[in-house]
């Protein structure tokens, strides 16, 4: 039985992280009450929600909508009203030493957008049809392409928070896109790790990551697995079958195919774990790449349910403790029937 | 005013992390209710608490107590009943390839202990006197020294979770100690970062970290600062004034001095932020060190209040967003009066 297995420390060759697998930890009692609310995304009144159709004037400016030029939109990409970075290029032009001073300070220039995934307050991403989810993915793609035109942008991070325990402050279904003036730490570390793997084996780590034991499902262009060294219980990766550098290389057919697999994975998590809070992140490649990196960089989408918080051990060591072995999580998720 | 300042991305030269400082983010509203309970460590009934005096038989086995051989103990170090790693050496002896197989799997051998900081349920660490906190620090030190005797242990992580949102599952004041068979990722990355800084400047990064702007307070042997690139709002570091590799080099006089400064910092955080959930972590050096590393490795204690959760951006990029500039946090914390 899995629960009597010995703990193991596994290293992920893609994200370069170490994870302790420890089934015994699942049995800890708690004298605090449950942290996640029963319904992580309560359908609070749409009257007060700026993301709802008809409330567009309460939002920060729109960047574009899909379909174009219609009041009956399906997806809107808007500026974030409380942006972490400033899109005003003046803040870099006006400084003597704009990019990087000797203290390691970079001016906080960048873009921070919100993608409203549906006009209706009570619709979650997984309620949409595969081609409607495909439209959300097309919005990501178009926005990434726009952001790449700016010379100071080096990396674009797309992510979604669902539920308060996953960090969401708004309950209306949405995701976020940030255009960054740096290549962030996880991306540098993933690049080195993938490079090292390539030099050792002559292969791309993501092309090799698929195994029968870890596989959950597959579609024409993608497969989904629980990664070998998942940091979070029931973490899922959706990976393009063909070696592909950047998320925004997706064509329209593939966005629908990915929409279908993403919907299926979200429904399986929701069914198995009772609509848990979750995050997803698109791990793509930096805007500027050297040809020598092409053979080993490969984008993927990571979904992490937030079932328990982290504590001082994870903050201190950077090493996560996961009570569920990936083979067991994959086997459970393969079986979940979502009709 | 701080809140009209432009955002900045700063890089920490010690922990090798990137942080976005963005005062605008502090103004975000939320349509979810507050995540942290009003009282993060409710004084639930001590009748049911295994960590209380008189309930020793409900705990996993004791390793030692202070003072020794008395039923009237002040601090107990016990085994964790749900350990993340197994202390049974048989799990490494019985395997053909115990340490590290080709997949990057390390056997989950190691130690996972709990330090009960007080016999009384309602006493928090910051309620203890400086010399009583010193006793807790002496317990850490003694246990680290014991764990270092085991040939497979490479690093010892000491950490504390206070409050449910900081990960605590038990409310009775306690901390944890894990003896690990690996050098964890943050420690390797800190080692490289400190080495790089040393090679650039000829100096130890921690010896250089003190600045008037960031200083909160100081004692005979320690100073406390808000680090230049704090990941968390109101994060605090307590750093030994003298260049010192390992936490367990502390002598008894220094433990009381550190106890006093730690108490003061915890009281300031509690006063300023209304008893927030928090973690602290001791960042020491690996057990085995080369002489060439002595000039740049320097231990410190990191305290992080948990005021807001993280979301997909932080998980995806490894880069945190902090709404409070460290200079501003230091200035606020300098002024907080705790008498
Ligand atoms: N009228 C309006 N027009 C336009 N935009 C509006 C708006 N009203 C609100 N917004 C923006 O909408 C966004 C909603 O985002 P989420 O709910 O996914 O999480 P948030 O970014 O608040 O923080 C979570 O995600 C971030 C990034 O991971 C973490 O730093 C943080 O701790 C976590 O809580 C917010 O960023 C907010 O600024
Ligand atoms: N009778 C008994 N005798 C001995 N030990 C007992 C016991 N009853 C309970 N324990 C142990 O006491 C410890 C209490 O620890 P904390 O409350 O600090 O957080 P916990 O380790 O549960 O998890 C938090 O910290 C870890 C590490 O950071 C994170 O992985 C996790 O997500 C977070 O919730 C637990 O580890 C538990 O196993």
The annotation status of A221 as a binding-site residue, yes or no, is: no
| Alpha-carbon gap: A173 to the closest alpha carbon of chain B (Å) | 13
Residue A45 has a pLDDT of 61
- Residue A61 gets which letter from DSSP? P
Residue A42 has a pLDDT of 52
Residue A95 has a pLDDT of 56
Residue B34 has a pLDDT of 45
Rounded Cα distance between A288 and B233, Å, is 33
Report which of residues A1 and B159 the model is more confident about. B159
Residue A102 has a pLDDT of 63
Q: Is residue A174 annotated as a catalytic residue, yes or no?
A: yes
Residue B331 has a pLDDT of 96
Kindly report the CA angle at B36 between A176 and B316, in degrees rounded to 5?
Answer: 30
- Which residue out of B37, B112, B317 would a mutagenesis test of the A interface target, given it has the greatest number of A Cβ atoms within 10 Å? B317
Find the mean pLDDT for residues B106-126.
96
B chain contacts of residue A86, beta-carbon cutoff 8 Å: 6-7
Residue A141 has a pLDDT of 98
Q: Which of the four pLDDT bands, split at 50, 70 and 90, describes residue B128?
A: very high
Rounded Cα distance between B339 and B239, Å, is 23
Is the pLDDT reported for residue B316 higher than 80?
Answer: yes
Find the mean pLDDT for residues B219-241.
97
* B9–A159 CB contact, under 8 Å: no
Q: What is the mean pLDDT of chain A?
A: 91
Is the pLDDT reported for residue B101 higher than 70?
Answer: no
| Atom number of ligand 1 nearest to Cα A50 | 1
Is the pLDDT reported for residue B178 higher than 80?
Answer: yes
Is the pLDDT reported for residue A3 higher than 60?
Answer: no
Please state which of the ranges A45-54, A203-212, B56-65, B95-104 shows the lowest mean pLDDT. B95-104
Mutate to test the pocket of ligand 2, among A313, A316, A320 (most ligand atoms within 8 A of CB): A313
Nearest chain A residue (CA) to B301:
A316
Q: Of residues B162, B174, B246, B248, which has the active-site annotation?
A: B174
Helix/strand/coil percent split, chain B, to 5: 30, 20, 50
Residue A230 has a pLDDT of 97
Rounded Cα distance between B79 and A238, Å, is 39
Residue A25 has a pLDDT of 87
Residue B42 has a pLDDT of 52
Q: Of residues A174, A246, A283, A298, which has the active-site annotation?
A: A174
Share of chain B above pLDDT 90, in %: 83
Rounded Cα distance between A201 and A2, Å, is 31
Kindly report the CA angle at B119 between B114 and B125, in degrees rounded to 5?
Answer: 70
Is the pLDDT reported for residue B1 higher than 50?
Answer: no
Q: Which of the four pLDDT bands, split at 50, 70 and 90, describes residue B48?
A: confident
Residue A34 has a pLDDT of 45
Q: Who's near A73: CB < 8 A, 6+ residues apart? A: A53, A65, A66, A67, A119
Q: Which of the four pLDDT bands, split at 50, 70 and 90, describes residue B28?
A: confident
Residue B102 has a pLDDT of 63
Share of chain B above pLDDT 70, in %: 90
A chain contacts of residue B33, beta-carbon cutoff 8 Å: 37, 164
Residue A35 has a pLDDT of 47
* B105–A9 CB contact, under 8 Å: yes
Is the pLDDT reported for residue A66 higher than 50?
Answer: yes
The annotation status of B57 as a binding-site residue, yes or no, is: no
Q: What is the DSSP string of B144-196?
A: HHHHHTSTT--EEEEEEEESGGGT-S--SSEEEEEEESS--HHHHHHHHHHHH
B310 phi/psi in degrees, rounded to 5? -105, 170
Residues B222/B241, Cβ–Cβ less than 8 Å: yes
Rounded Cα distance between B111 and A126, Å, is 42
Residue B2 has a pLDDT of 44
Rounded Cα distance between A110 and A91, Å, is 10
Report which of residues B327 and A95 the model is more confident about. B327
Rounded Cα distance between A58 and B79, Å, is 55
Cross-chain CB nearest to A44 (options B31, B159, B318): B31
Rounded Cα distance between A7 and B86, Å, is 7
pLDDT tens for A94-149 read 554 445 566 778 889 999 999 999 999 999 999 999 999 999 999 999 999 999 99
Q: Which of the four pLDDT bands, split at 50, 70 and 90, describes residue A48?
A: confident
Residue B91 has a pLDDT of 74
Q: Which of the four pLDDT bands, split at 50, 70 and 90, describes residue B189?
A: very high
């Amino acid at each position: 039985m899995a629960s009597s297995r010995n703990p193991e420390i596994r290293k992920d060759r893609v994200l370069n992280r170490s994870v302790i697998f420890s089934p015994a930890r699942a049995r800890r009692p708690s004298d605090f009450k449950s942290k996640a609310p029963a319904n992580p995304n309560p359908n609070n009144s749409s009257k007060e929600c700026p993301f709802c159709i008809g409330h567009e004037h309460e939002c920060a400016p729109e960047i574009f909508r899909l379909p174009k030029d219609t009041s009956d939109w399906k997806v809107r990409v808007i500026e974030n009203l409380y942006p972490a970075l400033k899109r005003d290029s003046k803040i870099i032009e006006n400084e003597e030493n704009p990019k990087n001073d000797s203290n390691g300070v970079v001016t906080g220039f960048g873009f921070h957008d919100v993608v409203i995934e549906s006009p209706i307050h009570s619709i979650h991403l997984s309620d949409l049809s595969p081609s409607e989810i495909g439209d959300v993915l097309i919005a990501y793609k178009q926005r990434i392409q726009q952001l790449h035109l700016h010379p100071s942008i080096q990396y674009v991070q797309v992510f979604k928070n669902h539920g308060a325990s996953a960090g969401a402050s708004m309950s209306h279904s949405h995701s976020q896109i940030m255009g960054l003036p740096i290549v962030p730490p996880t991306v540098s570390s993933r690049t080195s790790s993938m490079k090292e793997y390539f030099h050792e084996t002559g292969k791309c780590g993501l092309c090799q990551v698929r195994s029968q034991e870890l596989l959950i499902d597959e579609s024409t262009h993608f497969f989904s697995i629980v990664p070998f060294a998942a940091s979070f219980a029931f973490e899922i990766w959706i990976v393009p079958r063909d070696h592909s550098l950047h998320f925004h290389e997706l064509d329209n057919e593939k966005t629908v195919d990915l929409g279908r697999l993403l919907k299926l994975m979200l429904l399986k998590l929701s069914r198995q774990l009772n609509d848990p809070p979750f995050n997803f992140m698109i791990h793509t490649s930096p805007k500027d790449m050297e040809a020598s990196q092409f053979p080993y960089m490969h984008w993927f989408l990571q979904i992490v349910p937030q079932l328990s918080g982290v504590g001082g051990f994870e903050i201190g060591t950077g090493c996560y403790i996961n009570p569920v072995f990936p083979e067991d999580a994959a086997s459970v998720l393969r079986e979940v029937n979502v009709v």
